Amino acid sequence: MLDLVRSKQKSILIKFAFGLIILSFVIGYTMLTAPNESGSSRNNDVAARVNGDDISYSAFQNSYSNLYNLYQRIYQGKFDANVEKQLNLPKQALRQLIDELLLVQEAERRGLNVSKDELVKSIAQYDAFKQNGVFNRARYLQVLSYQRMTPEQFETSQRRQLLTQKVRDQLQQGVSVTEEEMKAAYHKEKDQVDLNYCWVTPALVEAKVKVTDKGLLDYFMQNQEQFRIPEKISLRYLQFNPAGYEKEVAKFSDDELKRYYRRHLDMFETKAKVKAAHILLRVAKGADADTRQKQRELAEELLKKLRQGADFAKLARTYSEDKGTAKNGGELGYFGRGTMIGSFEDAAFKLQPGQLSNVVETPFGFHIIKVEESIEAGVKPLVDVIDEVKTGLVVEKSRQIAYEKAMDAYNINRKTGDLAAAAKSNDLGIKETGLFSRGETIDGIGKEPAISQAAFRLQVGELGRPLQTPQGVFLFTLKERQPSRLPELDEVRASVELAYRTSLAQDFAEQLAEQLLKKAQELKSLRKAAAELKLTVEETGPFSRSYGAFIPRIGSVAKLAKEAFSLTKDNPVAPQVYSVNNKYLVAGLKKAEQADFNSLDNAARTQLHDQLLTAKKDAAVTDKLRELIAQAQIEVMVPELINSFAPGANNK
């Protein structure tokens, strides 16, 4: 597609290519849930199976790529690996495909179908298939040809899309919104409260804490179990380093390369980029309106010349005031989102290759941008990353060899526990750890919970099953075990004193908070009570019920968030002390504003009604899908997503 645009062929082909770009998302989406025509598929090309119907791995890959492109457009420069991880795009992609397939199956159960007339009308609506505003069959065939799709394939997928929409329409029939629902939603969004609040923390009362020998001893005796010295063990171990076995890795089959590629799609993602040039007419900070207008007029004049066929590079060298790029015809090279200033970047990424922007204003002045090439976000094809895949497979296979050698050593020596024999046969040296307790870092190995858990189950001299870690594979035996015991006070005095001080401060803080609450209720004023006790009062600022459990400047306190809207001038203090992360919170009403539902005009009422109706209709489909998923037999073959779709998993 991009090669077609870059080649700068005749204008009809360029317009045609732009039509393909617009249509690509439609085709990509509608083809995603198409079943395999054979009715079955090899497992290595199946991402999931729903009630016996397959979802192909290529459909999953396309779905993921489309979602990736969508969110990259939404988040723009803020879209990074962390955002992608939070969004869990692989799960979203597969869930969309499963939902659509379940709706198709539901349509079949309901006896729904799509007529030929309905299909023809829906296809005729796509602008990419029109010429002079009218559907053109030659254009239709040409567009599909460039997408490497037959009319039969597209029409089948379009029929499926119409079918799922019919199911949605049936599920949403009869959904309505009552006046009471509108009032509740309006008040949830518009009613506001502003709270005064006061934190009482242990740090505020630390000066009151006095530690005596008797108090410390009494605290220790009452909480001796809290200071128990845990069971400790030490190990002898062998480390099988995968790097030492890389030379043993043989050639790879095509299937191995494909499987590795599919399992690691995230490694081969590409970010959206454009290659652009610009002409900058600078406007100094603080320049007067006349100067700004003259520069804008010049920019408009240059843009007019460019649209009449003037050479961009020549005008850039002559007029551009960006000294770094003017001599090179305004060339900026490739850049991604988050690189340029917002307005410049937004304009550049909206352009297709060969297009000119309008005059774009930034803090630097006025720009004219020309995009020369673009790279869409997506996933690199296997052929482009074959060397990376092979390197990854070498690492993977060498880890497998290391594990197999460790397993051989374990199986041969597990009855005798002879680590020395295992070391000799593998030309490895035996290493030892110091004593460690559960969850602690292990000398020479690191913080490895799996090894720690397995080691504590061993008897002295017993050989443990090999375990893989980022540092390699470890084969280990238990060297020594020290049982857990209760300590004497002198062994743990420092930690006991710290805990005792913390406990006393916590108690004093809670007592002070209760004192503050009582006084505030008596005075019907948190501010007056806090002033008497020399405590600081803060304000949340206005917030509504739509915030849920969250309260500005405080955080999530569900009970207070609910009770805040019950406070009045006559009863302005929240009814209890709220414990939040070992701190104590007392709150009172500063101001409450109840919105007037009757003040809504007809347009606002209609808008609110329509928003609620849309939400309820969406909920009707979501509820049905939740029911279908609970009843469905779903088998997921994508390794990293198996747990996400296991029974009981959160599939929202």
**Adjacency order of strands within the sheet including 331-336:** 331-336, 273-282, 365-375, 360-362
Whether the CB-CB separation of 319 and 279 falls below 8 Å is answered with yes
Q: What are 59-81's pLDDT values in tens digits?
A: 888 888 888 888 887 877 777 77
**Token pair recorded at residue 450:** 């799996």
The answer, yes or no, to whether residue 402 has pLDDT greater than 90, is yes
Query: Is the separation of the CB atoms in 47 and 642 below 8 Å?
Result: no
pLDDT tens digits along 491-533: 999 999 999 999 999 999 999 999 999 999 999 999 999 999 9
Output the DSSP codes for 328-389.
TTTEEEEEETTSS-HHHHHHHHHPPTT-B---EEETTEEEEEEEEEEE-SEE--GGGSHHHH
d(CA 102, CA 168): 12
Section 417-437 average pLDDT = 96
Kindly indicate the confidence band of residue 547, based on its pLDDT and cuts at 50, 70 and 90. Answer: very high
* Single-letter amino acid, residue 84: E
**How would residue 545 be classed by pLDDT, with cut points 50, 70 and 90?**
very high
Q: Which two tokens stand for residue 270?
A: 């590409």
Smallest CA-to-CA distance from 197 within 530, 539, 534, 580 is with: 539
524-531: long-range pairs with CB below 8 Å, 24+? 524/570, 524/571, 524/572, 524/573, 525/572, 525/573, 525/588, 526/196, 526/197, 526/198, 526/572, 526/573, 526/586, 526/587, 526/588, 527/196, 527/588, 530/198
DSSP for 509-568 reads HHHHHHHHHHHHHHHT-HHHHHHHTT---EE---B-GGGTTEETTTEE-HHHHHHGGG--
Residue 494 corresponds to which tokens in the numbers above?
């420092």
Residue 53's CB is within 10 A of a number of other CB atoms, namely 15
pLDDT digits (tens, 9 = 90+) for 154-199: 998 899 999 999 999 999 999 999 999 999 999 999 999 999 999 9
User: How does pLDDT run across 575-592, given as a tens digit for each residue?
Assistant: 999 999 999 999 999 999
Residues 243-272 have a mean pLDDT of: 87
So what's the pLDDT on residue 490?
Answer: 94
Instruction: Kindly state the average pLDDT of the residues 594-602.
Output: 92
Cα 125 to Cα 377: distance, rounded to the nearest angstrom: 27
Number of H helices, E strands in the chain: 22, 22
Contact assessment for residue 200 and residue 509, using Cβ atoms and an 8 Å cutoff: yes
* Closest by Cα among 276, 286, 305, 273 to 365: 286
- Output the average pLDDT for the chain: 89
Strands 555-556 and 550-551 come out as antiparallel
Label residue 649 by pLDDT band (50, 70, 90).
low
In whole angstroms, what is the distance from residue 356 CA to residue 300 CA? 12
Tokens of 22: 């617009």
Buried b or exposed e, range 519-544, using 16+ CB within 10 angstroms = bbbebebbeebbeeeebebeebeebb
Task: Determine how many CB atoms are found less than 10 A away from the CB of residue 493.
Answer: 14
Q: For residue 456, what pLDDT band results from cuts at 50, 70 and 90?
A: very high
CA distance readout (Å), 368 to 179, 353, 361, 430 = 53, 14, 9, 68
Distances (CA, A) of 629 to 60, 87, 162, 244: 18, 21, 21, 47
Angle separating helix axes 151-172 and 602-631, nearest 10 degrees: 110
For residue 458, what pLDDT band results from cuts at 50, 70 and 90? Answer: very high
* DSSP β-bridge partners for residue 195: 589
Percent of residues, the chain, with pLDDT higher than 70: 92
Helix (H) or strand (E) holding 462: none
Average pLDDT over residues 586-606: 94
What pLDDT digit, counting tens, does each position of 324-381 carry?
A: 999 999 999 999 888 899 899 999 999 999 999 999 999 999 999 999 999 888 888 8
- Tell me the pairing of strands 192-200 and 273-282: unpaired
pLDDT digit string (tens) for 462-493?
Answer: 999 999 999 999 999 999 999 999 999 999 99
**Cβ(316)–Cβ(329) under 8 Å?**
yes
Over 80: is that where the pLDDT of 220 sits?
Answer: yes
Band (pLDDT 50/70/90 cuts) for residue 30 is: very low
* Higher per-residue pLDDT: 207 or 536: 536
Q: Rounded to a whole number, what is the distance in angstroms from the first to the last CA of the chain?
A: 35
Residue 68: predicted pLDDT: 85
**Residue 319 to residues 313, 314, 617: CA-CA distances in angstroms?**
10, 9, 56
Tell me the H-state helices in 280-322. Answer: 289-307, 312-319
- At 91 the three-state DSSP class reads helix
